[in-house]
Every structure is written in structure tokens, then in C-alpha cells.
Amino acid sequence: MFKSNVIAAPFLEHPVVDASCFEAKEFDIVAPENAPANFIVKDKFDLNQYCNCLLTKIVSLNKSKIKPFIRYQCEQLVDPFVWLNKLEKLIDLNREHFTTKDQNIKIEKTLVVIELLRQEIESNKFTGSKYNFKAVKQKIQSYKTPEEKLSYLLEVKTEYLQYKPSVTNTNEVPFDLQCDLEINLLKSQRKLYKSIALSESRLKKPTLRSKFKINSNVNQFVDIFFQLMHEKQVNGKPFLEASPNELAELIAESFQDKEGKEISVSTVKTILKPSRFEKRPKGKARLDLM
């Protein structure tokens, strides 16, 4: 660590590793032994400590490792371009701390690497972390259906939780939570689109002039559909595959009871429920389909 305090640059992102919880890797930024391991002081991130640790790390590395170190930091970030600009500013603000030839050589190497990585980012050649949600958002735009988008989000979230990185960005919502928010949004949108499509289809559906009359009891008639859905099969499959709710609406819209009255959708739904056996006819009253 530098003996005197460095002048901090206004980093918006600062990936660090809490060494009290995770085993730090070679290129991780960790707090010194006499400082809070999570860099939090009085409920606030200690930016000065971070800047000091960052510069100390750079001048302590072998020259050949400076580029992979900076690239490793960028891979943890949402906006590496801005972080590189802040790193350049940090160096300019603290030139007086680099007093040896070796330190100045490494700082100059760092500035070269900063410029090279900025060029990579501008030309879209920089490939950051797959757990950068900004990149994930761009990726899911390439999928056409909500199902494909949901599948990808669930896959990348599961992988993240299985191999959760030790580096944490204190300014960013956790990656898995960002995935959950996007998943909930897609599900809500899909439900809304289906509701709109159903409403539009109902508006387009022609109005029936008259309904077919049922001369049996309603439960006898509806039970026929129940048998076709649950009891009668052809080649191992039910005679009729249908949504109970949609079938109930179809029956109510198309038929009237033996007294010429409307049939309740809720009544039909109840009869079609497998658990409501008491609502269906029994014995000789049941129209058994052979």
C-alpha cells in the first residue's frame, strides 16, 4: 500500500473480493488486513481504499501480467469503457506516488493497455463476462419467441448460481436477481399478449343467432365431454384434448338447457373437474359411451 493516501478517482463500478468469505484469486482486489474486508465503512463503500489497492496491485504485478489483470477487471463490469477512463484519471491524479523506475514503467504499460482495451471496446472486439446482464439483454434479443428467451435466461441464471463468481460489484443488482426480473417481465408480457389475442378473437367471432337445445340434464350432457377427455382413449390418447375452461365457454356459448335457459360457464367448469364426481350423473343416469 502507498504510505500516503492516494487521490481517488470517481469510479462508478469497483469489483472487489471479500477475502473473509471467498478465496481471492491472483487478479482480485482485496482489502488490506487492517481494513474492512468488504470495503464498507459507515455503510458506504471506501473508494479511497479501493483506489489505493488498485494502484498498489498494478505496481506489484509483473509487467507481463498487467494486461491480463486489467482485462480481468473489465470482465466484471457493466461498462468497462467508463472504468478504464476512471483508471486513467486515477493514474494522472497520483503521478507523485510513482517514485521508482519500475513503478513508472508499469504505469506506462498500464496506460498503453487502457488505450488498447478501449479500442477493442469501441470496435466491439472486447468480449466481457457472460454474467454481464447488459450483454445478456442483447443476447436475448436474438431469440424470436418468449419461450426461447425464458429458456436462455433460466440456463444462464442456473449456471451463474452453480459457479457463482467471488467478485462482487457493490453498485450493481445481483446477476441472478436481474435474470428473475427479466423472467417475470417476459412472463407478464406473454400473459398479456395472450389475453389481448383472446379478446380480439372473441370480438371477431360471429354471434350465433340461436343455440342448440339440450333435452337431457346439463350434467348428463357435459359428462359426455368429461368421458371423452378422461376415460375414453384411442391409441393411448384421449378422444378429446381440450382446455376445460375453453370447453366450458364453448358449451355455454353453443347450447341451452332443456328449458331454453342459458347454461352457466361456472357450472360446466365444475362438472368437468375430475375431483367433483358428485356433480356428474351416476348409474343408469349416466350416458355411457361404448
pLDDT tens digits, 16-28: 988 887 788 899 9
If one counts the domains in the chain, the total is 3
Query: 126 or 29: whose pLDDT is higher?
Result: 29
Same domain, 28 and 104: yes
Is the residue at 2 inside a domain?
no
pLDDT, tens digit (0-9, with 9 covering 90-100), for 117-176: 999 888 876 666 666 777 788 778 878 888 888 998 898 888 778 766 555 556 668 878
In this structure, the number of other CB atoms found within 10 A of the CB of residue 210 comes to: 6
Is the residue at 173 inside a domain?
yes
In this structure, the number of other CB atoms found within 10 A of the CB of residue 288 comes to: 11
Phi, psi of 175, deg, nearest 5? -55, -45
| pTM of the predicted structure, to 2 decimals | 0.50
Same domain, 112 and 58: yes
pLDDT for the residue numbered 7? 93
Same domain, 153 and 219: no
Same domain, 89 and 116: yes
Pairwise CA distance, residues 10 & 88, whole Å: 11
Is the residue at 3 inside a domain?
no
Same domain, 58 and 19: yes
Is the residue at 290 inside a domain?
no
Same domain, 137 and 111: no
9 within 8 A of 89, measured Cβ to Cβ: yes
Same domain, 189 and 257: no
Is the residue at 38 inside a domain?
yes
N residues, the chain: 290
Domain membership of residue 277 as a residue range: 212-285
Q: Which of 90, 122, 154 is the last residue of a domain?
A: 122
pLDDT for the residue numbered 3? 63
